[in-house]
Amino acid sequence: MAKIPYRLYLPEDKIPTQWYNLRADMKDLPDPMLNPQTFKPATEEDLYPVFCKALAHQEMDDTTRYIDIPEGIREMYKLFRPSPLVRAYNLEKELGTPAKIYYKFEGNNTSGSHKLNSAIAQAYYAKEQGLTNLTTETGAGQWGTALAEACSYFHIPLTVYMVKASYLQKPFRQAIIRTFGGKVIASPSDTTEAGRKILAADPENSGSLGTAISEAVETAVTTEGCRYVLGSVLNQVLLHQSVIGLESKAAMEMLDEYPDVVVGCAGGGSNLGGLIAPFMQDKLLGKANPRFVAVEPASCPSLTRGKYAYDFCDTGKITPLAKMYTLGCSFKPSPNHAGGLRYHGMSPILSKLYHDGYMEAMSVEQTKVFEAATMFARVETILPAPESAHAIYGAIEEAKKCKETGEAKTILFGLTGTGYFDMTAYTSFMDGTMSDYIPTDEDLQVGFDKLPKIPGIQE
């Protein structure tokens, strides 16, 4: 057989034209989202004030297996997709492993991450519905960047509430968002009631995702034609991200390959859910039996140490309640945490699959993550995002096991993005000043104690 190339880009006729909806093949579905006022299952209509109609429909659609990717979205996908499937020959050599390591690289666009896949879809449907504004929040900035790119393409004005600490620490991130025409407001701000209240009490407040969400949502509900959008966790976002897995599977088929294990980093679960989707379908249908490994930070361990419970998706407690692995919506990782993936919960779809034993999870300390990131960068020439480096770490662990057993397993992992805006964190790693923090059981209990009480369901 011919040597497998370093990078494989799918030919035009194999590029997916439909997304795959994993829920359609799950025998046991995630528990329904609940309306936070009535504790009744949320309906599609309940979601209309928050999401545009097409996305509310996708959010609730548990049965349509394949959903056409509209032409307008595929046109923009063409600007940066297909993304390459890369054979990590150099990493394999560095590790001296008999394993074959592949990664799907999603950092080949200006936003630098997979988030653009869903940002485009969300902006497209907003435009189609005639919405005139979108708001969102951003912490690290990747989501804000991706959405700004998508909104500029579809000519929709966007306001991004960026956590003030991150706004100040990452001036280039906000500059990129502004270059794409997005309006960036450091949160807390004086543009909303929520922001003004916090600033009145504490003028030096450096912000949080919770506050930024509250400001973005307040702006959305008080502005005509405006909606709020989210970049992870939701079913619709996993659906859009299935393009990652569909392309990966098609590319591996061309190489006559199939993964024994698929590894991904898990923040809110969107890239992992997208990457594993078509392989998980095979597992659910009994056609193949690959393993799936979610890798999360030890300082924000929602799958490995969280509770499977109903919780709010946001710190501001305005979203519907979702049944998921959660650390409690008030949970904040320690301030020394630099590796991203700081979300308190996990996609309800992935939570259910993990709960039912279809997926494994592991957590890792950030110094080990940056060790893996640095090793990878030096041999594979891509500077990985710290988030992505969790997956690199997981893949390396699998490859090392193969070295011990002599098995030539096929490993696929998701390389979600690049880390050019995380050089402060890289610097502290190289300077030896980065530390690890693992929350104690008592620390986590504080978050569990505040989980919402739902009569008859969760007392």
Burial (CB < 10 A; 0-12, 13-18, 19+), residue 172, is exposed
Which residues in the 321-380 window bind ligand PLP by CB under 6 A? 341
The answer to whether 190 and 199 have CB atoms below 8 angstroms apart is: yes
Nearer to ligand PLP, 210 or 267 (CB): 267
Helix/strand/coil for 273: helix
DSSP 18: E
Q: How far is the CB of 265 from ligand PLP (least distance, A)?
A: 5
Pairing status of strand 226-228 against strand 360-364: unpaired
- Of 19-27, 217-225, 263-271, 392-400, which segment contacts ligand PLP by CB under 6 A? 263-271
Q: Any contact of residue 141 with ligand PLP (CB under 6 A)?
A: no
Q: Which of 21, 109, 159, 271 binds ligand PLP (CB under 6 A)?
A: 271
Stretch that binds ligand PLP, among 10-18, 180-188, 214-222, 262-270 (CB under 6 A): 262-270
Question: Rounded to an integer, what distance in angstroms lies between the CA atom of residue 329 and that of residue 326?
Answer: 7
Q: Which is nearer to ligand PLP, 125 or 343 (CB)?
A: 343
Give the total residue count for the chain. Answer: 459
Using the rule CB under 6 A, which residue among 245, 268, 394, 447 binds ligand PLP? 268
- 295 lies in the binding site for ligand PLP (CB under 6 A): no
**Residue nearest ligand PLP by beta-carbon distance:** 417
* In the complex, least distance from residue 277 CB atom to ligand PLP, rounded to whole angstroms: 13
Select the residue interacting with ligand PLP from 83, 187, 270, 326 (CB under 6 A): 270
Q: Residue 334: which region, alpha, beta or left (left: phi > 0; alpha: psi -120 to 50)?
A: beta
Query: How does strand 66-68 pair with strand 18-20?
Result: antiparallel
C-beta closer to ligand PLP: residue 153 or 343 = 343
One residue of 21, 58, 97, 113 binding ligand PLP per CB under 6 A: 113
Q: With beta carbons less than 8 A apart as the criterion, state whether 331 and 312 touch.
A: no
CB 143 within 8 A of CB 177: no
Examine residue 109 and tell whether it contacts ligand PLP (CB under 6 A). Answer: no
Contact flag: residue 115 with ligand PLP (CB under 6 A): yes
Query: Is 267 near ligand PLP (CB under 6 A)?
Result: yes
Applying the rule CB under 6 A, the residues between 232 and 261 that interact with ligand PLP are 232
Secondary structure of residue 85 in the 3-state scheme = strand
Q: Which of 142, 211, 214, 319 binds ligand PLP (CB under 6 A)?
A: 142
Nearer to ligand PLP, 127 or 331 (CB): 331
Phi/psi at 254 (nearest 5 deg)? -60, -30
Q: Which residue number, 265 or 322, has a Cβ lying nearer to ligand PLP?
A: 265
Would you tell me how many other CB atoms lie within 10 Å of the CB of residue 168?
Answer: 13
Contact status, residue 164 vs residue 192, Cβ threshold 8 Å: no
For strands 360-364 and 291-297, give the pairing.
parallel
Per CB under 6 A, which of residues 370..429 are in contact with ligand PLP? 385, 387-388, 416-417
Q: Alpha helix (H) ranges present in 333-380?
A: 348-355, 366-380
Interface positions with ligand PLP (CB under 6 A): 113, 115, 142, 232, 265-271, 341, 385, 387-388, 416-417
